[in-house]
């Protein structure tokens, strides 16, 4: 900190001829006396930095409480909380400015670098850095205000008509064969587009020269779009940067409608990234600069070749993996088929062996041997069975003979009974079966009698 010390105050003797000589008063004061010693210098006021900056800030705020400043925006940036910082400059001076978030949210103008405007606010000094700055609470356009109002009115009207709808915007062709450019042949925009395109790939360009500034520019731009559309796959409309007035041709309604009705996709490449025109809103794609428009439209063939090579390598590796997998699968299938065939052969061998055994067992010699053995066994069993059955029959017959003998009429006749039959041989049991004089055959225990009935006697008598 630099301190400025005031020099001490001193008295000088009066010159000869003055009314007062030396340090006395009057002409007869006598010889001059020696001067008194000078007083000590006052102690200087020492300020702290914050105190000095604060007093300077208050003085500045009191002197410039409400002031308008006109200048061009430079270094525009927004902080995370939403405050806007920039500087206003002209040809000789520069002043820092800030718009607090509450005022920044209410702005109706989209601030950008290079915009000339008038700002209203108060001047102060930021104590943290001691820098002179302006706190802005109101801004308005200077010089370009009428153009901005026209811009906003046209923008609102076209938006209501649907020219800005994202649903109608068309995708750009990935591999265009011919790219049209509607711009000035003398402008840097065409040079930038061709320079970038030359470094990216092999694409044909068809250029329609047109003015991009001035009253004759809008109809020429419309005509260039009309001429290029039937012969290209995508169309770039643009120019280099400039002021709002320089770019005003691309805010023309006829240009906007020509872009809207263009049968091929349109890329707007007007000015720099901070520049915004009606053409940007209507176009199918907006590029921040003409160079970026070339990057958007022209595929990077070197990158594509690298991607194709990488995809080819990946395809080969994938194909090799598929082939290896197929080989392993085929080997597995062959092994399983071999095992299945071996199992089938083993099964067929077992069946063949069983069939051979059955065939051998069905041979006539074998069957004859078996049948002989079976016949011998059957003969033996038959004899045994016959003997058993004959023995059983003999016993049964003897038993039945005994029973029959017991029930035989001869046994009854042996006890003194007789059996009488008529002439027909029928056994007579009652006297009604025969008449007097009929012959009767009487069978005795031993012998027979031929008799004739003389009389019949009833049992009751």
DSSP per-residue string spanning 315-352:
HHHHHHHHHHHHHHHHHHHHHHHHHHHHHHHHHHHHHH
Tally the domains of the chain. Answer: 4
Measure the N-to-C terminal CA separation of the chain; round to a whole number of Å: 192
In degrees rounded to 5, what are phi and psi of residue 219?
A: -65, -30
| Domain end residue (candidates: 271, 299, 327) | 299
Q: Which of 254-268, 401-415, 421-435 has the lowest mean pLDDT?
A: 401-415
Backbone angles phi, psi at 72, to 5 degrees: -105, 135
Residue 459 covered by a domain? no
pLDDT on residue 459: 66
* Closest residue by Cα to residue 100 from 83, 86, 122: 83
Q: Quick one: average pLDDT of 378-399? A: 88
- pLDDT for the residue numbered 22: 40
Give the pLDDT confidence of 178-236 residue by residue, as tens digits: 999 999 998 889 999 999 988 887 789 999 999 998 889 999 999 999 999 999 999 99
Examine the domain organization and report whether 109 and 184 are in the same domain: no
Q: Is the pLDDT of residue 275 over 70?
A: yes
Q: CA 432, CA 99: separation in Å to the nearest integer?
A: 164
For residue range 120-179, what is the model confidence (pLDDT) as tens digits? 999 888 877 778 889 999 888 776 656 777 888 889 999 999 999 999 999 999 889 999
Residues 240, 155 share a domain: yes
Between CA 297 and CA 205 the distance in angstroms is 11
Tell me: do 323 and 355 sit in the same domain.
yes
Pairing between strand 178-183 and 84-89?
unpaired
The verdict on residue 170 lying in a domain is yes
Residue 192 lies in a domain: yes
Place of tokens 């490449």: 269
Answer yes or no: is pLDDT of 8 > 70.
Answer: no
Bridge partners, 120 (sequence order)? 68, 138
From the list 224, 42, 65, 73, the residue with the least C-alpha distance to 140 is 73
Q: Tell me the CATH number at 113.
A: 2.40.50.140
**432 secondary structure, DSSP code:** G
Reference 159, options 260, 301, 40, 308; nearest CA is 260
Is the pLDDT at 11 greater than 60? The verdict is no
Mean pLDDT of the chain: 83
Name the domain boundary from 243, 266, 299.
Answer: 299
- pLDDT for residue 461: 58
Answer with the one of 122, 142, 162 that is the final residue of a domain: 142
**Length of the chain as a residue count:** 461
Pair of tokens at residue 281: 């809103």
Element (H or E) spanning 123, and its range? strand 116-126
Per-residue pLDDT reduced to its tens digit, 232-250: 999 999 998 877 778 889 9
Whether residue 234 is found in the same domain as residue 138: no
Whether residues 357 and 256 fall in one domain: no
Q: What is the extent of the structural domain holding 70?
A: 49-142
Question: Whose CA is closest to 136, among 177, 99, 102, 110?
Answer: 99
């Amino acid at each position: 900190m630099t301190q400025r010390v005031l020099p001490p105050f001193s008295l000088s003797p009066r010159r000869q001829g003055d009314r007062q000589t030396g340090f006395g008063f009057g002409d007869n004061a006598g010889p001059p006396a020696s001067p008194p010693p000078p007083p000590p210098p006052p102690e200087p006021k020492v300020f702290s930095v914050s105190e000095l900056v604060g007093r300077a800030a208050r003085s500045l705020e009191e002197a410039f409480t409400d002031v308008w400043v006109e200048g061009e925006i430079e270094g525009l940036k927004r902080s995370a909380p939403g405050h806007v910082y920039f500087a206003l400059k002209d040809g000789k001076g520069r002043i820092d400015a800030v718009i607090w978030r509450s005022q920044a949210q209410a702005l109706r103008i989209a601030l950008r670098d290079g915009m000339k405007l008038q700002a209203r606010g108060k001047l102060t000094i930021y104590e943290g850095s001691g820098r002179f700055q302006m706190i802005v609470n109101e801004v308005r356009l200077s010089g370009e205000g009428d153009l901005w109002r026209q811009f906003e009115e046209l923008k609102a009207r076209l938006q209501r008509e649907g020219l800005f709808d994202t649903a109608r915007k068309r995708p750009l062709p990935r591999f265009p064969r011919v790219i049209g450019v509607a711009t000035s042949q003398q402008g840097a925009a065409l040079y930038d587009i061709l320079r970038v395109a030359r470094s990216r790939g092999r694409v044909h360009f068809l250029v329609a020269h047109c003015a991009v500034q001035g009253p004759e520019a809008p109809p020429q731009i419309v005509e260039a779009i009309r001429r290029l559309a039937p012969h290209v796959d995508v169309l770039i409309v643009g120019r280099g940067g400039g002021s709002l007035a320089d770019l005003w041709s691309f805010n023309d309604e006829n240009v906007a409608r020509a872009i809207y009705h263009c049968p091929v996709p349109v890329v707007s490449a007007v000015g720099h990234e901070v520049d915004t025109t009606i053409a940007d809103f209507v176009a199918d794609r907006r590029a921040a600069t003409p160079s970026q428009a070339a990057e958007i439209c022209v595929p990077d063939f070197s990158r594509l070749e690298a991607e194709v090579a990488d995809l080819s390598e990946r395809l080969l590796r994938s194909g090799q993996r598929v082939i290896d997998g197929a080989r392993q699968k085929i080997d597995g299938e062959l092994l399983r088929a071999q095992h299945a065939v071996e199992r089938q052969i083993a099964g067929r061998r077992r069946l063949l062996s069983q069939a051979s055994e059955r065939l051998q067992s069905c041979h006539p010699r074998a069957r004859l041997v078996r049948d002989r053995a079976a016949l011998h066994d059957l003969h033996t069993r038959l004899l045994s069975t016959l003997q058993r059955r004959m023995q059983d029959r003999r016993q049964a017959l003897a038993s039945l003979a005994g029973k029959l003998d017991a029930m035989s009429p001869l046994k009854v006749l042996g006890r003194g009974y007789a059996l009488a039959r008529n002439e027909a041989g029928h056994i007579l049991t009652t006297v009604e079966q025969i008449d007097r004089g009929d012959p009767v055959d009487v069978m005795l225990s031993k012998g027979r009698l031929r008799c004739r009935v003389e009389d019949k006697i009833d049992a009751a008598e």
